[in-house]
Amino acid sequence: MINQSDRKRIIDLINREVVPAIGCTEPAAVSLCVAKATEVLGTLPEKIELRLSGNIIKNAMGVGIPGTGMIGLPIAVALGASVGKSEYGLEVLRDVTPEAVEEGKRYIAEKRISVKLAEDAPSNLHIDVTVHADGHSARAVISRAHTNFIFISHDDEILLEEKPQKEESASTDDIKLNLAMVYDFAMNSPLDKISFILKAKELNLAAAQLAFDGKYGHSLGSTIRSAGTKYFGDTPMEHMVAYTSAACDARMGGAPVAVMSNSGSGNQGITATMPVVSFAKDINATEEQTIRALILSHLTSIYIKQSLGRLSALCGCVVASTGASSALVYLMGGGYPEICAAVKNMVANLTGMICDGAKPSCSMKISSGVSTAMMSAMLAVNGKCATSAEGIVCDCVDTTIRNLTSIGREAMQETDRLVLKIMTEKE
């Protein structure tokens, strides 16, 4: 059993990793860094210089920026300088207005923004912003996590400085999880201590509903909902895929709506939430079952990310849908052995799915994750599990997870570089 001290540390960890975010978290983090540098400068910059790690550039190239009708980094940078507030965190662009967007377009047209690849970045998640005005400058650097400032200066005065670290994974201060701890926490924590996770249901369900009522991204969710019953039937699987992909449509399409993220990713937060919410509704689960399922899903995702790192060449839907599959097993009546089986089934199937940036078609990848989550859970509760004779699956579920994350963190580094090269050199 988890002791009271460790239980508090896990609750603190969830509260740090499961937070609201408006828009894709990578351009939001860039906006946040620009906003902080501008606040330190004390005036609207005449020029903004950015040095960004490849994964930041990759995840910001093709995604919609909320409230703008535009995609990509330049408008996120311009708005971060003009209306961004660092106190809002990843909701930094909460105060965007049509007037601000028009001003941002002029700022971009005047070529005040310079973006370069930081080939020597110490982390896959690294944002270095310098702003200039009236002969003065300010600099802000975010590294390792989307809101983690490691350097701030005004002219020659250093206001904050931490040594950069190469490791993208969990802070050394975070409790080190394993799957048994995750399960114990989700099943046995007092309900009043974990009911806060229902905020994820509220926010991500609202994002899905917005996409059902409008046109965002590729409208996968609304298409499945309106035309999919002919092919999918009116089934729990159809409902899960529709709701999850719809929330992603809204987020990737630039809807001005906050979603609950997980480990720095809105899409991971959506994938860890919406299949669970949808299935719980279909089976008439109690509120307690829904809460425990959501905690299980989100904390499993956090656990996997501890060894994978914030950004990698491995699509985050692999991580979050593994969390969702664990929660589906619980809602189907399975216990810890069946959850271990579901995780192994997920690793046997989805390992290797590449991340080629945040973009509207992420809703299709997420749908693949949701479908696999359901299949893996169904197999598990019926006594079927990928064995240690198959691929990278081991008898130990935690070793299996580390095999998955080592492939994403280490073996796919060259894949990551090639993906970025292809994306930036397309004609």
CATH topology of domain 179-424: 2-methylcitrate dehydratase PrpD (1.10.4100)
Cα dihedral angle (156, 162, 167, 171), rounded to 10 degrees?
A: -150
Would you state the pLDDT for residue 165? 60
In the chain, the amino acid numbered 156 is D
- Helix pair angle (362-381, 316-331), 10° resolution: 40
**Tokens 């501008």 correspond to what residue?**
38
**113-117 β-sheet, strand order:** 113-117, 47-52, 126-133, 136-143, 149-154, 157-161
Residue 29 near residue 56, CB atoms below 8 Å: yes
Would you state the pLDDT for residue 234? 94
Taking the model in full, what pTM does it have? 0.89
Would you state the pLDDT for residue 164? 60
Residue by residue, pLDDT tens for the chain (427 residues) are 789 899 999 999 999 999 998 888 899 999 999 999 999 999 999 999 999 999 899 888 888 898 898 988 999 999 999 999 999 998 999 999 999 999 999 999 999 999 999 988 898 899 999 999 999 999 999 999 899 999 999 999 999 998 766 544 444 568 999 999 999 999 999 999 999 999 999 999 999 999 999 899 999 999 999 998 899 999 999 999 999 999 999 999 988 889 999 998 999 999 999 999 999 999 999 999 999 999 999 999 999 999 998 788 899 999 999 999 999 999 999 999 999 999 999 999 999 999 998 899 999 999 999 999 999 999 999 999 999 999 999 999 999 999 999 999 999 989 988 998 898 888 6
Listed by start position, the domains of the chain span 24-161, 179-424
The answer for residues whose C-beta is within 8 angstroms of residue 236's C-beta and 6 or more apart is: 278, 279, 282, 283, 374
Q: How many angstroms from the chain centroid is the CA of residue 184?
A: 24
24-161 classified as CATH 3.30.70: no
Would you state the pLDDT for residue 174? 81
- What is the SS3 assignment for 265? strand
